[in-house]
Amino acid sequence: MALYALRRLLNAIPILIGITIISFAIIHLAPGSPLSQFLEDPRITAVDKANLIHAYGLDKPLYTQYWLWVTGMLQGDFGTSFQKSAPVLELIVEFMPNTLLLTISSFILSLLIAVPLGIFCALRANSRLDQLVTAFSNVGLAIPGFWLALILMMVFGVKLGWLPIGGLSTINAEFSLWDRTRHLIMPVTTIAVAEAAIWTRYVRSSMLEVIHQDYMRTAKAKGLLPWRILSLHGLRNALIPLATLFGLMIPSFFAGSVILESIFSIPGVGRLLIEATFQRDYPVITALVTLGAIMTVIGNIVADILIGFLDPRVSLSGKEVKA
């Protein structure tokens, strides 16, 4: 298995190189300059402007800038932020815990809602509850996340005053678990609504395919308890297609929700990317784009490994396993 993962990582190297080249070129070819606010300041002399451009390496050819950035990244140096004058890696490490807290909490909440509902709807297919859950799932998929966030803020934050409308904690207040929970309720709910809708549909669909298989009827004929049939035979096989979906969601754990972090003023990686984009902070943008590409590759590898664990018919060596 380790050899399989290593082989997949080696195959992903050309893809990652291509992503870095394309993203680096697009960012640098866009009109304007990340130092525009300094270069357009009449109080700064021409000599100071030239020194500033040279200090950030913007006077070098584009391919030289790319090579310096790649070699530095391989050594753990993602460069220095133009706007915050801080190492990019330190910024990512500072904001990443907030993003992980938000995204993983939303993911766990969505699974706690979606898995039981999906299984129950599959067992009671076409019932009134199944139709009701399907309708709510469609609504959850159709509602834009930013719109739901604004509605929650207006109702529970402004009108009722039950929940804070921004941040992760009360300003100038000591750390409190209840205070942190109150700040997370609305953003976590906003993300979990869409994720629960997706997972419910997938779990229901997978379970519907599994419960009508011959081995399920055989297990029932052998006299096994219903919960044992469902957990050992049904749920494990139903999770096989869901492993791919889980792998594809891993990048979102680290990338965060760009729009919602900005709406709720959460200091996470998504909000950091938005600010860097508007400020044309090249090192931050390229580092986050590269991190997202790496997480996508890792997510695909994790999905393949999970499928190999769940389905013994799949061989991680790439050879077909004969029955």
- pTM of the model as a whole: 0.75
- Shortest CA distance to 259 belongs to which of 177, 147, 165? 147
Per-residue pLDDT of the chain (323 residues), as tens digits, is 667 667 777 877 888 888 888 877 877 776 666 666 666 666 767 776 777 777 767 777 878 888 888 888 888 778 788 777 788 888 888 888 888 888 888 888 888 888 888 888 887 777 888 888 888 888 888 888 888 888 988 998 888 888 888 777 777 777 778 888 888 888 888 888 888 888 888 888 888 777 777 767 777 777 767 667 776 667 767 777 777 777 777 777 766 677 888 888 888 888 888 888 887 787 888 888 888 888 887 777 777 777 766 666 655 554 444 44
Q: Which residue has the tokens 């909000």?
A: 271
Q: Rounded distance, CA 44 to CA 13, Å? A: 43
Burial 164-183 (b: 16+ CB within 10 A, else e): bbeebeeeeeeeeeeeeeeb
Would you state the pLDDT for residue 284? 86
Q: Are 302 and 14 in contact (CB under 8 A)?
A: no
CB of 186 closer than 8 Å to CB of 152: yes
| pLDDT score of 320 | 43
Q: Determine the pLDDT at residue 323.
A: 40
Q: Which residue carries 């050309």 as its tokens?
A: 14
pLDDT at 322: 43
Give the model's pLDDT for residue 273.
86
In the chain, the amino acid numbered 8 is R
pLDDT value for 213: 72
Would you kindly state where each structural domain of the chain is located, as residue ranges? 2-74, 92-310
Nearest to 134 by CA among 203, 186, 183: 203
CATH class, domain 92-310, is: mainly alpha
Closest CA to 187 of 170, 166, 158: 166
HEC string of the chain equals: CHHHHHHHHHHHHHHHHHHHHHHHHHHHHCCCCCCHHHHCCCCCCHHHHHHHHHHCCCCCCHHHHHHHHHHHHHCCCCCECCCCCCEHHHHHHHHHHHHHHHHHHHHHHHHHHHHHHHHHHHHCCCCHHHHHHHHHHHHHHHCCHHHHHHHHHHHHHHHCCCCCCCCCCCCCCCCCHHHHHHHHHHHHHHHHHHHHHHHHHHHHHHHHHHHCCHHHHHHHHCCCCHHHHHHHHHHHHHHHHHHHHHHHHHHHHHHCCHHHHHHCCCCCHHHHHHHHHHCCCHHHHHHHHHHHHHHHHHHHHHHHHHHHHHCCCCCCCCCCCCC
